[in-house]
């Protein structure tokens, strides 16, 4: 394998994207960014283009792409793409080893599909791709001989724990959760939590949407569905365990009672670098080492699904299958966006989702078109219900 890994970074201006740029910056030339893509943040993109000098850049928003073109100095040899299909185009660039897909929500599904069809290994930071279209996408990856390398810290942990192990010897996967900022809140206190409180995560620095999902435990529910598709285990063999210190990122228990865990500091650059360097491990001297003596103790507790019903809804939809997970994901995106806009309360998030699920007539999620159709319906229905709630 080449000493230099070439990547295309889809979603370069978001939280995972900027962390990936940090990894590339510290890689001492071992990572070459051949393509950068985002939606409309042209000023951040301009800075990234000037630093990394990619061959191709994409901004979905046409006006943002125009501003980017006008802002770049002469001598920058970079092809700028725009429009709805630009992310798909960049995900399939021929001179790229790995496509890092970090676009939030259902918008990240088409570039994942495009990268797979082009035979690219995918560093998957978009959990919604497997939540909404797990059967379709995993089948497509097998068909094209593509490796899906998870970037979520929990799935990266399981992926690492299973290296050299046989799936049939697994007893269960243990997906850990920090518990979020409201882990010890009473039901009455949850009635009045604010946007600012929900965004104040105790351990991780993440984007707004995923931080709210962490507070509601929906993030953990989506990760359970993703783990089902990534590792091929039944939902009865996947357990969620609250671990407030976020040091153990996940564990695998085998049928002989042995448990293998992956530990590390709470920094997304570690799983990002592993996804790019895989199957090798590179030095990561720019981050502190894990010091267990300084941490002192690690604690664990069961999640409370009564106070955090989103987790139970995710398990339910995963077991129902077909387009139920697709609809769950889309309804959650709408509900979270309404909460962030101060239009519904924190406890309204699961209420909106439940309302959408009650009216859903499930269909097989066997094609990209079916997945996107179910996603669109769920967004419309969730908007209607959220308007009524607010």
- pLDDT tens-digit map of 156-174: 999 999 999 999 999 999 9
Which pLDDT score, from 0 to 100, does residue 210 have?
86
Q: Mean per-residue pLDDT for 266-271?
A: 94
Which pLDDT score, from 0 to 100, does residue 8 have?
97
Q: Distance between CA atoms of 216 and 178, rounded to whole angstroms?
A: 11
**With bands split at pLDDT 50, 70 and 90, how would you rate the model's confidence at 75?**
confident
Which pLDDT score, from 0 to 100, does residue 390 have?
73
Residue 113 CB partners (closer than 8 Å, separation 6+): 88, 137, 140, 368
**To the nearest whole number, what is the mean pLDDT of the chain?**
94
- pLDDT tens-digit map of 240-258: 999 999 999 999 999 999 9
Nearest to 380 by CA among 362, 355, 345: 355
- pLDDT tens-digit map of 215-248: 999 999 999 999 999 999 999 999 999 999 999 9
- pLDDT tens-digit map of 166-196: 999 999 999 999 998 999 999 999 999 999 9
Nearest to 194 by CA among 343, 346, 336, 308: 346
Length of the chain: 390
pTM of the model: 0.93
Q: Does residue 1 have a pLDDT over 60?
A: no
Q: Mean per-residue pLDDT for 58-80?
A: 94
- pLDDT tens-digit map of 294-344: 999 999 999 999 999 999 999 999 999 999 999 999 999 999 999 999 999
Which pLDDT score, from 0 to 100, does residue 183 have?
92
Q: Distance between CA atoms of 85 and 94, rounded to whole angstroms?
A: 16
CATH: 1.10.1740.10, 3.30.830.10, 3.40.1280.10, 3.60.15.10. Which one for 321-390? 1.10.1740.10
Q: Distance between CA atoms of 231 and 308, rounded to whole angstroms?
A: 25
Which pLDDT score, from 0 to 100, does residue 128 have?
83
Kindly state the percentage of the chain with pLDDT values over 90: 89
Please give the class, per CATH, of domain 5-150.
Answer: alpha beta
- pLDDT tens-digit map of 26-53: 998 999 999 999 999 999 999 999 999 9
**With bands split at pLDDT 50, 70 and 90, how would you rate the model's confidence at 353?**
very high
Q: Distance between CA atoms of 7 and 291, rounded to whole angstroms?
A: 32
Which pLDDT score, from 0 to 100, does residue 202 have?
77
Residue ranges of the chain that CATH labels 1.10.1740.10: 321-390
Q: How far are the Cα atoms of 206, 343, 346, 349 from residue 214, in angstroms, in the given order?
A: 10, 19, 12, 13
Q: Mean per-residue pLDDT for 272-297?
A: 94
**With bands split at pLDDT 50, 70 and 90, how would you rate the model's confidence at 2?**
low
Q: Distance between CA atoms of 290 and 215, rounded to whole angstroms?
A: 25
Residue ranges of the chain that CATH labels 3.40.50.720: 5-150
Q: How far are the Cα atoms of 58, 73, 376 from residue 11, in angstroms, in the given order?
A: 10, 23, 21
- pLDDT tens-digit map of 101-150: 999 877 889 999 999 999 999 999 988 889 999 999 999 999 999 999 99
Where in 136-169 does DSSP place strands (E)?
Answer: 148-150
For the range 80-85, what are the long-range contacts, defined as Cβ-Cβ under 8 Å and sequence gap of 24 or more? 80/56, 81/56, 81/57, 82/58, 84/60
């Amino acid at each position: 394998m080449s000493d230099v890994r070439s990547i295309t970074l889809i979603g370069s201006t978001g939280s995972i994207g900027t962390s990936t740029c940090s990894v590339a910056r510290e890689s001492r030339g071992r990572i070459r960014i051949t393509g950068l893509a985002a939606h409309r943040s042209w000023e951040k993109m301009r800075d990234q283009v000037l630093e990394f000098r990619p061959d191709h850049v994409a901004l979905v928003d046409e006006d943002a792409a125009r501003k980017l073109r006008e802002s770049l100095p002469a001598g920058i040899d970079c092809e700028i793409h725009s429009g709805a299909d630009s992310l798909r185009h960049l995900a399939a660039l021929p001179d790229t080893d790995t496509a890092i897909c970090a676009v939030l929500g259902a918008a990240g599904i088409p570039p994942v599909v495009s990268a797979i069809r082009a035979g690219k290994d995918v560093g998957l930071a978009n959990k919604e791709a497997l939540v909404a279209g797990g059967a379709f996408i995993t089948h497509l990856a097998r068909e094209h001989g593509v490796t899906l390398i998870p970037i979520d810290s929990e799935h990266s942990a399981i992926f690492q724990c299973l290296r050299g192990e046989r799936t049939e010897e697994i007893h269960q996967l243990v997906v850990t959760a920090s518990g979020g900022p409201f882990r010890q809140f009473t039901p009455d206190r949850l009635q009045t939590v604010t946007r600012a409180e929900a965004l104040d995560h105790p351990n991780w620095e993440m984007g707004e949407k995923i931080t709210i999902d962490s507070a509601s435990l929906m993030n953990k529910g989506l990760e359970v569905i993703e783990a089902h598709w990534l590792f091929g285990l039944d939902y009865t063999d996947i357990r969620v365990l609250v671990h407030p210190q976020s040091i153990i990122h996940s564990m695998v228990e085998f049928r002989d009672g042995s448990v293998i865990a992956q530990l590390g500091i709470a920094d997304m650059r570690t799983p990002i670098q592993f996804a790019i360097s895989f199957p090798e491990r590179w030095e990561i001297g720019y981050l502190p080492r894990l010091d267990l003596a300084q941490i002192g103790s690690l604690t664990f507790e069961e999640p409370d699904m009564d106070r955090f019903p989103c987790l139970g809804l995710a398990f339910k939809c995963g077991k129902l299958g077909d387009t139920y997970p697709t609809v769950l994901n889309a309804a959650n995106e709408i509900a979270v966006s309404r909460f962030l806009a101060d239009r519904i309360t924190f406890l309204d998030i699961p209420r909106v989702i439940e309302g959408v699920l009650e009216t859903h007539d499930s269909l097989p999620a066997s094609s990209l078109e079916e997945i996107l159709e179910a996603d669109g319906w769920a967004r419309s229905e969730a908007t209607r219900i959220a308007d009524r709630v607010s």
